[in-house]
Amino acid sequence: MPRVLLVETCTTPRPPADELGAEHRVRHALALESVVEGRADGARGVRRDVRGGELALFGIPLGAAFLAPGLRARGIEVLHEPLALHAAARRDPLVALGDAVQRERPDVVGITINHAVEEATGLKMARLAKAVLPGVRVVLGGLHATFRAEVLAGEAAVDAVVRFEGEESLPRCVDWLTGRGEPDDVPGLVAQGPDGLRVVPAGPHVDFTRARPDYDAVRADEYCRAGVLAHVQTSRGCPYECHFCCHTTFWGRKVRERDAGLVAEEVAELLGRGCDLVYLTDSTFTLNRHRVEELCDAIEAHGAERATFAVETRIDRLDDRLLARMARAGVRIVALGVETVSPEVLDRLPDKRVADPLGAVRDAVRRIRAHGMSSYASLVLGLPGETSDSLRALVDAVDLLYADTDGLLWADAKLARAFPGSAFADDPARLHATVDARYEWYDFYGRVTVHVDGGPAEDEILAARTAVMERNVRAWRRRRPGDEERVRDAVAKWRGGGPGAPPGS
């Protein structure tokens, strides 16, 4: 029986550059914790990782959980090593991977690279696996790997790259790599062949209706005990086309919905495993009113409303009836794709135009709060059309949102990135921008890598990000003065004790 070890790229988080950065990340973790604590029926006393969700970005490895059933059905044994948990314990994930390869001796190591900033790490992992176990085959997949497949497949340590969804293609790829199949039978395969690069056309999108993740295969209980956020995917696909996003290119424009009952059963299972915070990953959760009501009904029918849910949506897809229904089903955080409050910037983003963006955002935050939920404002700095004035207006808007009510949970100011597969990466000149493709800088909080013609200088963009961070910290100092000692201890350990304080510090 072939054995495949599934892992996700992960690095030990860098320590914050300064005191503000450290406190900002700690406050973010405690802000999430406060939402869970506020639910007497759902709180489990799990402390969030003090690095403010940096490790929780990876969460329980949902991709591997969806891949496992198809692999097992084809007679392939599935193994997993929780590298993010090693990183949380301040152990080098590369060392943990090497130990796992040596211990398990798999036939194939499957490495998921979802984030551009992790490309170099993914290649290090591939090389390490080969060094520890000569003859092991390495296959890459995931969001980022899909759009860099031809480059990555040229690396000596990479035997294959599987593009797009892997439920159908990865089992066939493992068969081929272990001598049980042919490469042309692997949809979306990119691999070196005797005559050069072999590129097999991608197959159709998978039927997602009855898909079930296998949480045992990815050791989910260990993630739940560590307080890691759980991602639950209720649909795939997005009809919108944002310049800075590659999800539509990867998942497709048609939205494919999972059976609502299966989603509710999955959440109930996660609750039973000790998970207390669930992010429903739909690109626009409230896109379809009937679908939201169906999900909420199923969640309540399975007793899964005891979970604390976070969802993501748009300000033009909300109304009071829908908000009330979501709140009854356990939704407590509504992440809003605000991006900017500048009409001039929004005019350059397809499907994002709003007559009065600041007024619309303030109204959405107030209404969300009126139904007992909190808003998480997702902002992007340095988009086409950005000016010094629009940056100042965005910082002022954060002040207003915090002053209006206590409905704003957090303002997350990310830097614009030209992710492979996005319009930024495909044709930056059309957007009057130049981009820097050094992916090691592509975390959301590092260097400016999108430079808009005639736009603000890099130091202005970074100053605006710092100003938003200051507003977040100031707001949470007022809201939770009792956190001061815990924050001081965590910041001191983090800044003085190496690359990250222990979880829950």
CB 501 within 8 A of CB 493: yes
Rounded CA separation 450/438 (Å): 11
Q: With 80 as the cut, is the pLDDT of residue 242 above it?
A: yes
Predicted pLDDT of residue 353: 77
> What local confidence, expressed as pLDDT, does residue 59 receive?
79
Where in the chain are the domains? 3-11+57-199, 229-496
Are the C-beta atoms of residues 139 and 155 closer than 8 Å to each other?
no
DSSP output for 356-412: SHHHHHHHHHHHHHHTT-EEEEEEEES-TT--HHHHHHHHHHHHHHHHH-S-EEEEE
114-129, pLDDT tens digit by residue? 999 999 999 999 999 9
- Per-residue confidence (pLDDT) for residue 54, from 0 to 100: 47
pLDDT digits 0-9 by tens, 321-370: 999 999 999 999 999 999 999 999 998 887 777 889 999 999 999 999 99
pLDDT of res. 224: 87
Q: Could you tell me which residue, 228 or 206, shows the higher pLDDT?
A: 206
Instruction: Give the range with max mean pLDDT: 3-12, 30-39, 97-106, 437-446.
Output: 97-106
pLDDT tens-digit series, residues 480-501:
999 999 899 888 877 765 444 4
User: Can you give the pLDDT at residue 501?
Assistant: 43
- For residue 334, which phi and psi values (nearest 5 degrees)? -115, 110
Report for 64-78, 277-291, 425-439: range of highest mean pLDDT? 64-78
Query: The domain 3-11+57-199: what is its CATH number?
Result: 3.40.50.280
Letter string b/e over residues 197-224, b meaning 16 or more CB atoms within 10 A of that residue's CB: ebbbebeeebebeebebbbebbbbeebb
Cβ neighbors of 49 (< 8 A, separation 6 or more) are 29, 55, 56, 88, 226, 227, 228, 503, 504
What is 95-111 written as a DSSP string?
A: HHHHHHHHHH--SEEEE
Tell me: pLDDT of 392 over 60.
Answer: yes
What's the mean pLDDT in 416-439? 91
Percentages of the chain per state (helix, strand, coil), in multiples of 5: 45, 15, 40
CATH class of 229-496: alpha beta
pLDDT in tens, 349-361: 877 778 899 999 9
Q: Given this model, what pLDDT does residue 396 score?
A: 98
pLDDT of residue 17: 79
% the chain with pLDDT above 70: 93
pLDDT band for position 42 (cuts 50, 70, 90): very low
Check residue 13 and give its pLDDT. Answer: 66
Q: What is the predicted pLDDT for the residue at 414?
A: 93
According to the model, what pLDDT value does residue 58 have?
Answer: 57
pLDDT band at 424 (very low <50, low <70, confident <90, very high): confident
Count of residues in the chain = 505
- HSE-CB of 19 using CA atoms within 13 angstroms: 4
Q: What is the pLDDT of residues 285-315, one digit of tens each?
A: 999 999 999 999 999 999 999 999 999 999 9
